[in-house]
Structure formats: structure tokens, C-alpha cells
Structure 1
């Protein structure tokens, strides 16, 4: 049994709806209803290629009529296996267009002629939908009843078929003429002979091992054997003498302090002549060309990433798509990029309605282009299907109109996916928590951020970059060394803390006292260390606690449970997944399993119940040029924003992403 069915315009105006239960009627009007959640989390984000959407025990299916900008939605309880929903959607769409296309066309034309949103709502309220679609209720009821009866008959026929027992096949007993005793076949005999020959050959080789030569009478020439062995031993000794490492000769006297100083190659030795530590060369830690800017309020902001190194050579995203979609004078693009489906569109001239057959070759070339930009194959397939759904049924006239339709659909789809659904202003979130009023008898909790990810992606390095950004904004940062497994993890963070302490804040003085390391060595419980670090930061007035965790593969369930325990016990304010920009299809598997494991394993108990990934930090961004498809794949999977990207080895090599820049890089031909 259905719970809800509706027909609405893409602008948000509901033309007709029907709720079949009181609970469904109340749920349909709720902001958190499955239909409203479908619009927010699937349709607006461009996830229109999913078979169905599930929310709060409900399953929702939908279909479009792009020419009339209509959305047909059906919602039912997920536990019910309704086989006729797809047929119902197809039949409803066909009949509704057949009966009410003139009315809907005039209604949409009136909406397009209105400029302001308030006027649109007022104009829409003046239309009497209930009177117009009065007979549609009868048509819908008749259609639904017929499909339900057909589904019931099919179910009964399947039950009757399953109750009929298949005939039992009887096996006839063997006849007397049949020899039932197994015999050794000729093949088995041949195999035994072959094995015997191989064994004999192996024994003969073992008897002749040692490099001995036989004389004419079959006698072993032992003298020549000894001579050859002696020659080989002498050659081996000579080679060993050549390859032997020459050791240092210290002499018989005790080395002096000057000798020891000349032999001290440690980078941690104190500067000569009692020079100050601040006199060291810090240029290797900070790249002046990649330093961020300060606002009028004194806030330090990292630079925006821009892949275009030559601004005159690269145009904006719209111009790049327009150039790619221009006809190539009948010549196909040898690289099979966006120019190829531009030449295909060049043949679609005149007034035409997009069909699936017209778009299939174009979408295939588009998919290949996205995969070349390092977009995961499944994500590229879904994006192309979504673009096709938005174009099928639309009327076009002339090549320019086709060009604009494809450009707008492609750019709109990518922009919807990449647009953050939550705030990416991490500094604002930190200051909001720190400035919130508290009772007089309570201490303020620091803002905690946990960095998670697989092995070797650069969590510790980019954590230190985030720490530098926070220090430059006047915040005190405590780094918690919760990677108690990898050798050298604590020492690595200790070096970062030492370097960050030497760097100045706002160009003056050093930042000693603004950053500190909290560590308890190796082999300890990471969740307990994180809890102690947060408590230590609370007692010592630290503003932010950055929690570094050990890298782990997404399929390692025990390690994922340990990470979920850290999340559930400490309930960090942000969980940031650190991933590489180099990954393609692997990004889908990593993010999906990390997010699912955190939600499942942390839901057992604790304040962080059901916590998932809150944002992403993509590393090694400078190695991919314009192949930035990993950002698209990661955002599509989680729906969470990319907060920063790492693009170098110094503490200033941190960038923010702008949607327009990423879209431009992906669509660049």
C-alpha cells in the first residue's frame, strides 16, 4: 500500500498530492518528511540517478518530465515489496501529460514571466489546482486499483506455481552387464609412467650436481674439479675485497672536541658561538610566495587554489565549455575529450527534442572525459546519467541552443555536487564555541578536531599546516599524538611542534607557548590519550586540540572499531578525513567504508553516537594539475565539503577550494 504520491513543479510548487494514511499526511507536511528530504539531499545535490531514496523507514521513487519541469514522487514503507511502483510512475506520467499538458504549459509560461519569488508564490496561489485536477483523482484511483489487482494476481500465481511439486526423477539401477567395479584407466597408467620418468631424471641431476665433468670412460675428473673450485674461490675473494667498505681510521689518540664537532652531522646541534635559536634559517619551513593574506580584522586567511598558471591562456569555465562544444569542422577529436561530443552536437541542427538515443554517444564521451580527470568510474557514470535525465525531453532549436543546454546542464550538475551543504568556515565554528556563555563553575572545553585516513596520505604533515593557520589567528593549539603504532609518529609531531614554536605570529616574535605536544608514548590506548589531551587542554586554556590518529586501511575492522571508539568516547567537534588527490576509484571505497564504519561502530554508546565524516582535507593537490576529479568523487559520496587542500611541503602550503575553480579544472578540455 502506498503512503504518499505527489506531482510538483521543479520550482517547489505542488500541483497535486495524495496521502493514503493520516500519518503519511502529517509526515508529508513536515520539513523532515521523506519527500522534503529527497528534494534537499538527492535532487538539489544532483543525485538523480539513484534507483530509490530511503529515509526514516520510507522508500521514495521519482521520475521527471523535463520539458514541463515536473517531478512525480511516490513514497511507501520500505518493508513492503511493492512491485508495481515503477509501472505506476510511468503510467501516471503518461496519463497526466496526456490530459493536462495544455494547462501545465500555460502555468509554467506564467511562472517564467514572473521576476520575483514573492510574486511567483502569489500568482501560483491564484491558480485553482483542486478544480483543475478534479477528474485526475478518479483517473489515479482507477489506475492504482488496476495495478494493485494485477500485482495481487501475479503474487497468487507465483504461490500456486511454488506449491506444485516438481516430478521426482528416479534413477534406474545398474544392469547386470554393467561393470560397477572401478578399474585403472589407461590415462592413469600413462600418468604413473610419466611421474616415474620425472623422478628418475631428477635423481640423475642430483647425482651430477657440483659441476663435475666425466672423462671418456665415465670416470670423474676430480683434479680439474678441484682446480675450477680453487679458481672460483679466488675470484670470489677478490670480489669481496673490492666490495668491502673502507672503515674510518681514528688513530690511537683520543679525538678532540674540534674533531667531534667536525664529525657531528646532527641538525639538532646548538648554533656555534652561543647564537640564538631564532637565528636559524626558517625559510625552508615557510614559503613566502604561498603565504595567506590578513583581513582588516587581522584574521589570517589561506589562499584560494587556482589551477590556471597562465591567466591569459585559460578562460573561465563557461568559455572553456563553449570552446569544447564548438564543431570541429567535421574532424573528430583524437583524444576523445569534450570536443568530440561537441562535434556530435554539431550534427543535431534545427528544432529537436532530446531523446535518449541522441544523448547516449555524447554522454559516453562525457564519461570518458570525467574519468580522465580522475573522477571515479561509478561517480562519472552517475553524473552523466543525471545530466542525461535533465536533458531528455527538452526542446532545442539550432546549434547555439544545444550548446547552451549541454553547457548549462553539465556545469549545473557539477556545481550542485561541489557546493558545500554545511559551513566550511572552520575558524567561525571555533570562535563560536569559544565565545559561547558558560556557567561560572565550569571550564571551557577546547575545540577538538580528529584527523583520520589511510596509511601514508599525510595526516601529520597537513595537521601541522592547519596548526600553523590556527596559530596565525592567535589561537593556542594542543597536538595530541594518538598514533601510538607507527614508529617515529610521536617524534615527527615533536619536530613539527618545535618548528612551529620558532615561527612568528603576524610577523613579530615567536609562537612559543602557542603550540604544545601531548604524548604518552607508544602502545597505549588512543581513545584514552585523546581524552586526557582534551582534559589537559581544558585545564591549561588551550583553544584547539588537534588529534592525530594512526593510518589504517578501510577493510581492517579491528582498527576501524578502535577509531570509532575514539570518536564515541571523545565526541570531537570535527572529524576530518585526509585523502590523496591521486586516488580515483579507490576514493569511493575509502570514504564509503570509513564513513559507514564510524557511524556503525560508534553508535553502540557514547556521546558521539552515529558520528560520520564532517569534512575532508585532500593532500598532494599540487601533483594532479587539472585532474582534480578526486574532489568531485569525495564530495559526491559523503555530501560533505572539502575544507582544505594541501599543495606543498611547507607550513604555508594550504589552500581553500572554490567551486568555480574546480568546475573550471574538470571541464577544461
Structure 2
């Protein structure tokens, strides 16, 4: 039973709605579809599943790109309605004929829809019956074909051309996998399609005789002769003095102390105690507060894209593509878009975008352009690139506010510390980038406290203690082999007592498949309900970013005792200065999780933390 069918514009204006009488949708499946699928460029998928308390729905949709209309059908997932796709295409065709941009209501479409629904249901029933009738017929046909092959065409032990032998040629030696042409078992068997080896006068086959082309002894003699000749050549040219070998100088070990400029350890007093060094005044301003200047070289970019488009026009040729760009095309078809989309997919993959993500993006762009009219003097490739650029900007632009400073002040007014938990796999730089975030918050006159909740890795507490000492920030620690959830809870209580504005919680690095550690992380988040969960990931990972983020979110959801589990809220991308133009990991992470990139680590000092420049990333991905 169809629950609802909705027709609305891309701007969000609802034109016509069908609802099953007496049934009301649970939750908000249409809003969730728009927010989680259509706006995130996932419209290339076939359907979307929505789960609500007490109901599970499947949503299917179709676009009319030329008119800017969206058609969405909702039905119970358990029903598996077969006629929905046909119904959507029929509704799309009929409604497009009566659509007028000036009209806002279409009550006269109710009767037309009822008729279309009956036709689609009848068509689905006929197809179902034809499949049921066709099954036994196909089985009997297959049996007859098998009997013909086994009983008539030489199968089994039947006679073939008067020969009472089997299919092995009559010599009793059955060889599996190839059909023999000669029936003599004493000779070499030759497979069908193989070239028989020629027999020479000595009775040996070519390729195995000592006089053959690949004689090993002759080959060794030729090599030895060649070696002598090269020796003669060297001796004749002995007038030229050979280059002298460069001998390695012996290393001199001395007990002199290291140079001061290479010594980055904290100074030590006469009593042996380390002196805390205040580096906050020496490091300078954090890059988070500096606006990155983005210069768009539009002229050179247009020239480059023009060259690429001319080079990648493919089978259509230069003349036909130029004629289409001048005259315009009635409606773009999928076959017209495939060459340009394939080139874009390859380009995204060279920039370290995961293959699965690049393919889904291309499918979504194709769905948004199919049926659209191509403007005059416009190439298909440039139209596809413009659509892809819009899609990338829409994906990378945060859909919610990521102003942490505002959220910190709001939490301060409520009398609670703002809690940030840093999670991620091993070795991505969680502790180092936690210190960078602490330094940035310090510059905005916000009191920070660190919580050493990595009680698993040796040296983790000492590493965080060093950062806290250099930044003159209080740290809460309980040592190793403690429950990190309890340590974080006590740290938050301590911050509440001493008036700290922000608590930065450092957690142990863990692989996404390590269930015991993921269970401990899920418990930490459930017990302490942090304000922000930051996933720290490397910009170098590429395809592995998809697996990491997907499984982190999946484990946090599955292992949490809460019915509404907390998932990853934001991403901190590290080692961004080491990847050159391979910036695709940022796109893959945002596309998979839907969480924005809130920080980008781009160096080894406390100031090397900045915001993600969306325009720069998109330009780099498409150039």
C-alpha cells in the first residue's frame, strides 16, 4: 500500500500530495530524505530507508530537471511494492504536461493519479503472473536441452560417427578440460585450437631439441664471448683513467654537548626540577584567526578546462560537439554525460578521493542533469564540471554552525564546562592537535583543562603532561590502567570546581575493528555526554578514511546503551601540509559521516591549526 506521494519544486514549494486515507506517516521521512540524501548529493542511489518508532519506510524519487520538480513516493518497507518505479515515471510524464509555474494547486490531478495508480498496479500483477507461468516452462525447456545434448550430440556412451568410444577420442584416456582432435593415445594429444609441434629429422619436437632456438648451452657461450669482448674494449680504452672511488670519511665521535638550537627540552634547575616554560607568548597568533586569501585564476582555469574538454570529447568529435554547443541540445541524456563524468571520476580519484565516493558523486550529478536542456554555446563537459563544483561546495560547506567560541560562552553562561572528546585511530596526532586547540582557545582568553584519558598507551600521560607544562594549562590525570570514562567524569567535576571553561579529553588511539576499545569509548561518551566529539584523521589515508569513519560511527551507535546514541560531530584533519594536491580525504570523510571539517592541522608548532577553505579544496579537486 502506497503511504504517500509528493510533488514539490526544488525550492521546496509543495504542489500536490497524495495520502492514503486514515494513515499518517510516523516521523518525518520526507524532511530526512531532503536533508540526508538530496542535499548531500546522494540522489544517485535507487532508494532511501527511513526508520521511525513503530514504522519503517522506503522512499523512492524521480526528478524532472528541466522543470525543477521532485517526485517522492513513500511506502512501508515490508511490502516491497513493484509498481512504484513505473508509477513515478507515469506521474512525472503526466504532471509535466499540465505543470504551470504560476499555479500553486493541482486538485484536478487527483483523478488522473488514481487512474495511473490502477494502471501501474495492473501492470505489476501481469508481470508477476507472467513470471510465475514462465518458471516451469523454462525448467522443462532446460531439461529437454540437456537431454538433447547428453543423448544425441555424443554425450554419455552414445555412438558418435560409428565410434563406440566416449568423448576422449577412443583411446580410453579421458582428458578433462579440452577436446582432442587425434584419437591416438601413443602420440602427443593436441587440444582443439592448439598448433601441433613440428617433428624434426631426429624425431624430437622443436623447442625441446638441443638444436632449437632456445639452446641453453649456446646462450651461455654467447654470454661468455660477449663478456670477453667487453673486456677487450675496456683494455683498448685504458688510456682513459678510471674514476677514483670516493672513500667515506670516518665519523668522529666526540663528547661535546649538543648545540643549543637543537635542544628543545625544558630547562632544568639546580635541584633537578624542570622549569615550566611559557611558550604562549613566543609562538605567535594561531592560524585559526587568520583569513586565508583565495585567489581564483579564472582566465588560466578557463583555458585549461577548454583544452581538457577538447582533448576529452571522445567519440563524438570536435565538429559535432561544437555544433551541439552552438545550437544547444534538446535534453541531455545519460549517454551524453558519461564521457565527461568518467573524466571527472578519474580526476577525483587521482586527488585521493575514495573510488566509491567518486562514483556516487558522478551518479548524483548525472541524476541532476539528465533531461536538462543544454544552453547554447555551452559544452557538455563544462556543464558537468559546473554541476560537480556546486555539488562539492554543497557537501563541504557545514550545514550547521561550527563556531566553537560561541558554544563555549553559551556553556559558560549555563555554569557548565564545554567538553570536547578527541577520538581516532592510532598515530594520527590526537594529543598534538589537542594541544593546538588548547593554544588557540587560550588566545581567546578561555581557561582550558586537559584530561589524560589515554590510560592504555605507554607514555601517553607523560606526552600530554609535557604539552600542559609548556602551555601552562592544568591537567587532570589518574595514571594508567584506569577506566577512561571515570577519569573523564572526575576531570569534568574538577573543571566545574576550579572554574575551567573547556575540558579537552584525550583518548587512546584504537582501530575501528577493536571492539573492546570501541566499547570503552562508547561508554566514555555515554557517561559524560560531551558537547563535541572530534574525529582526528589523517589527510594521507585516502580510501581508508571511508572505512574508519563508517565503522567508528557504526560501533558508537551499536555499542551505546542509549536509544539515541551520540555519533561524530566534527573532523580534525591532520598532516594536511604533507599531501600537496591530494586533498580528497577531506571530501571522503565529510561525505561518509556528514560531519564538517572543523580544524586542519598543517604543521608541528602550536600555531599550525587553521580552518578548511572550501573554495580552495574544490578548485584543487577539479583542476
TM-score (normalizing by structure 1) = 0.69
Match of 1:457 among 428, 432, 435: 428
Match of 1:326 among 290, 303, 306: 306
Unaligned runs of 5+ in 2: 147-172, 174-250
Match of 2:483 among 499, 519, 525: 525
SS at match of 1:396: coil
SS at match of 2:91: helix
User: Across the two proteins, how many residue pairs are aligned to each other?
Assistant: 520
Partner of 2:474: 516
CA contact (8 A) 2:6 2:18 kept: yes
CA contact (8 A) 2:340 2:381 kept: no
Q: 1 CA distance for matches of 2:528 and 2:334?
A: 51
1:251-307: CA deviation from partner (whole Å, max 9, x where unpaired):
xxxxxxx99xx9xx89344368999968x6959x9554x644xxxxxxxx523456x
Please give the residue correspondences for 1:243-258 in structure 2 after superposition, counting only pairs within 5 Å: none
Match of 1:143 among 89, 109, 119: 119
Q: 1:494 to 1:81 in 2, by over 3 A?
A: same
Q: 1:639 to 1:276 in 2, by over 3 A?
A: closer
Match of 1:433 among 399, 411, 423: 411
CA contact (8 A) 1:463 1:548 kept: yes
Match of 2:40 among 42, 45, 56: 45
Partner of 1:484: 455
Q: 1:499 to 1:72 in 2, by over 3 A?
A: same
Partner of 1:192: none
Q: 2 CA distance for matches of 1:434 and 1:634?
A: 31
Partner of 2:392: 414
Q: 1:135 to 1:531 in 2, by over 3 A?
A: same
1:471 Cα shift?
1.3
CA contact (8 A) 2:337 2:366 kept: yes
SS at match of 1:4: strand
2:516 matches 1:558 = yes
Q: 1:534 to 1:500 in 2, by over 3 A?
A: same
CA contact (8 A) 2:309 2:381 kept: no
1:657 Cα shift?
1.6
Q: 2 CA distance for matches of 1:80 and 1:2?
A: 9
Q: 1 CA distance for matches of 2:3 and 2:323?
A: 46
CA contact (8 A) 1:328 1:343 kept: no
Q: 2 CA distance for matches of 1:341 and 1:571?
A: 60
Q: 1:321 to 1:248 in 2, by over 3 A?
A: closer
Q: 2 CA distance for matches of 1:424 and 1:614?
A: 10
Q: 1 CA distance for matches of 2:528 and 2:411?
A: 16
2:28 matches 1:33 = yes
Please give the residue correspondences for 1:310-459 in structure 2 after superposition, counting only pairs within 5 Å: 311=295, 314-315=296-297, 322-327=302-307, 331=311, 348-349=324-325, 350-352=327-329, 353-400=331-378, 402=380, 405-436=383-414, 444-459=415-430
CA contact (8 A) 1:46 1:417 kept: yes
SS at match of 2:419: strand
CA contact (8 A) 1:3 1:20 kept: yes
Q: 2 CA distance for matches of 1:595 and 1:652?
A: 30
1:534-567: CA deviation from partner (whole Å, max 9, x where unpaired):
1111122111111100111111112111111111
Q: 1 CA distance for matches of 2:358 and 2:577?
A: 23
SS at match of 1:61: strand
Q: 2 CA distance for matches of 1:476 and 1:341?
A: 65
Match of 2:440 among 462, 469, 476: 469
Partner of 1:5: 5
SS at match of 2:587: helix
2:587 matches 1:632 = yes
CA contact (8 A) 1:417 1:636 kept: yes
1:23 Cα shift?
2.6
CA contact (8 A) 1:325 1:343 kept: no
1:485 Cα shift?
1.4
Unaligned runs of 5+ in 1: 111-123, 170-184, 186-244, 250-257, 293-300, 437-443, 502-514
CA contact (8 A) 1:476 1:544 kept: yes
2:565 matches 1:610 = yes
Q: 1 CA distance for matches of 2:356 and 2:569?
A: 23
Q: 1:372 to 1:341 in 2, by over 3 A?
A: farther
Partner of 1:224: none
SS at match of 1:475: coil
1:238-259: CA deviation from partner (whole Å, max 9, x where unpaired):
xxxxxxx99999xxxxxxxx99
Q: 2 CA distance for matches of 1:414 and 1:80?
A: 36
Partner of 1:190: none
Partner of 1:658: 613
1:654 Cα shift?
0.7
CA RMSD across the alignment: 4.3
1:609 Cα shift?
4.1
Q: 1 CA distance for matches of 2:553 and 2:518?
A: 10
SS at match of 1:429: helix
SS at match of 1:15: strand
CA contact (8 A) 1:304 1:658 kept: no
CA contact (8 A) 1:356 1:392 kept: yes
Partner of 1:303: 290
1:60 Cα shift?
0.4
Q: 2 CA distance for matches of 1:276 and 1:526?
A: 28
Partner of 1:193: none
Q: 1 CA distance for matches of 2:290 and 2:274?
A: 32
Match of 1:539 among 494, 497, 510: 497
Match of 2:547 among 577, 589, 599: 589
CA contact (8 A) 2:91 2:113 kept: no
Partner of 1:20: 20
Q: 1 CA distance for matches of 2:380 and 2:16?
A: 32
Partner of 1:93: 92
Q: 1:400 to 1:528 in 2, by over 3 A?
A: same
Q: 1:71 to 1:286 in 2, by over 3 A?
A: farther
1:95 Cα shift?
4.2
1:152-197: CA deviation from partner (whole Å, max 9, x where unpaired):
6368659999999x99x9xxxxxxxxxxxxxxx9xxxxxxxxxxxx
1:47-105: CA deviation from partner (whole Å, max 9, x where unpaired):
211221122211101111212212121111122222332233233334444xx2xx32x
1:428 Cα shift?
0.9
1:367-387: CA deviation from partner (whole Å, max 9, x where unpaired):
011111111111111111111
CA contact (8 A) 1:287 1:653 kept: no
Q: 1:60 to 1:590 in 2, by over 3 A?
A: same
Q: 1:41 to 1:158 in 2, by over 3 A?
A: farther
